[in-house]
Amino acid sequence: MSFEPNNVLITGGAGFIGANFVRHWLATTQQGKVVVLDALTYAGNIDNLKGLESDPRYAFVHGDICDEAAVKRLMETHRIDTIAHFAAESHVDRSILGPDDFIRTNIVGTHSLLKAAKALWLDKKPVATHRFHHVSTDEVYGSLGPDDEPFHEETPYAPNSPYSATKASSDHLVRAYHETYGLNTTVTNCSNNYGPYQFPEKLIPLIIINILHGKPLPVYGDGLQVRDWLHVADHCQAIALAITDGKAGEVYNVGGNSETTNITIVKTLCDLVDEQLSQRPDLAKAFPSSPAVSGRKAMDLITHVRDRLGHDRRYAINYAKAARELGYAPGRDFATGIRATLEWYLSDQAWWQALLGRDYAAWVKKNYAA
Ligand code: NAD
Ligand code: TYD
């Protein structure tokens, strides 16, 4: 039996995946409100939602998921029946430098949302029709060897970073609220996303922007770590399907069918950016320090730096359950998706230039420390 969401609260909707999901949901549904709750941390960016202000179905609320009373008020005001929970501290490197914000938002914040949902949906009679969807990661399963079977929904949890430990903890809380109180939850655990609006501290946008500026391309360790790259539009489709067609209490793994090493990604981007700069005089003029402008190769910028502490070697996803039960299939292969993503970063330069201006000192410190 499928669930028909009406008014949806999207936490973290000003972040990378959340903003893509807000746009996806507004474009693919006809009714109900979309209320974004976002604390606008360094990773949150109101520009990610630009153009939606005039949509009568959309509202933005600046606030913290840890503020349970405010969440309850918001849910009552907008008669929320569905939560799509994206808000999180999401960058592994930052979690290694300082886990506290991760504990607060990812664990305490998720629990605050669960308590608000229980109070409004379960504790008042009659029990409301509702859905709590939690967006999680494949990193909760730990690291695979080269010949290991991909992660599936029964793979034991073995988180290795403070980030993945907090996501694992939030997954357990969501499960407990289903098992103990009967909250109608669904969870998706997905692989590495890429696409428009990704904050430029993550691998793909960081490499594109560094090539454009002729800066070193930091590759952690030998660069042979493997991730299964998932286009954010495919991820949004899977989340929407889990909300409407997923069974309460179930977990669905979402992958992109695109296992690739980091060094391959970096080299692919080097070739693609070189190609664009040699074909487009406007880009060559805007980015004179990019190697292709002076006949050199972006690959020369590749710099192997100290490896990430506790760096997971390989992630891979078996998404057979989502395919079977939700009809999910990734629609974009990596070769097409990475070209489209590069094109987005090249055509929307103002978006990332503004971010570099805002957090530039921290960004430089992180990227150029060997
Ligand atoms: P992001 O860092 O780009 O965005 C996170 C958003 O949450 C930001 O807008 C931020 O302002 C907001 N936020 C942070 N703390 C908050 C708080 N206390 N209250 C309200 N809002 C707060 O993250 P993302 O890459 O879009 O990831 C979204 C979700 O998907 C996260 O839960 C993440 O764990 C999960 N995920 C991401 C990936 C990936 O590849 N990016 C892969 C698997 C799972
Ligand atoms: P990242 O985009 O941070 O995502 P995650 O840690 O969630 O997988 O990193 C993706 C991979 O790229 C990861 O194996 C770490 C590696 N990496 C680099 O080699 N250099 C970099 O500068 C960054 C940011 C990541």
Say what percent of the chain tops pLDDT 70: 96
Question: CA-to-CA distance for 207 and 352, rounded, in angstroms?
Answer: 13
pLDDT tens for each residue of 93-102: 999 999 999 9
Residue to substitute in 86, 110, 254 for testing ligand 1 pocket (most ligand atoms within 8 angstroms of CB): 86
Ligand positioned closest to the Cα atom of 236: 1
According to DSSP, residue 370 is labeled -
**Pocket mutation for ligand 2, best pick of 92, 203, 365 (most atoms within 8 Å of C-beta):** 203
The residue ranges of every structural domain in the chain are 8-197+229-257+310-332
Q: Return the ligand 1 atom nearest residue 17 CA.
A: 26
Amino acid at 49: L
Q: What is the mean pLDDT of residues 226-252?
A: 98
* 341-348: average pLDDT: 96
Catalytic residue among 141, 163, 319, 328: 163
Band the pLDDT of 161: cuts 50, 70, 90.
very high
pLDDT of residue 221: 98
**Residue located via tokens 């229980």:** 118
Look at residue 368 in the predicted model and tell me its pLDDT. 42
* Residue 157 annotated as catalytic: no
Q: How far is the CA of 87 from the centre of ligand 1 (A)?
A: 4
Answer yes or no: is the C-beta of 44 below 6 A from any ligand 1 atom.
yes
How far apart, in whole angstroms, are the C-alpha atoms of residue 91 and residue 66?
19
Q: For residues 29-39, give the mean pLDDT.
A: 97
Q: What is the pLDDT of residues 59-75, one digit of tens each?
A: 999 999 999 999 999 99
Compute, in angstroms, the gap from residue 266 CA to the centroid of ligand 2: 11
Alpha-carbon distance 87 to 38, whole Å?
Answer: 7
Is 154 one of the annotated active-site residues of the chain? no
Q: Looking at 81, 89, 138, 274, which residue is catalytic?
A: 138
Residue 57 has pLDDT above 80, yes or no: yes
Query: What average pLDDT does this structure show over 236-243?
Result: 98
Residue 366 is predicted with a pLDDT of: 57
Give domain 8-197+229-257+310-332's CATH number out of 3.90.1480.20, 3.30.200.190, 3.40.50.720, 3.40.470.10.
3.40.50.720
Position 363 pLDDT exceeds 60: no
Range list of H helices, 98-202: 100-102, 110-117, 162-181
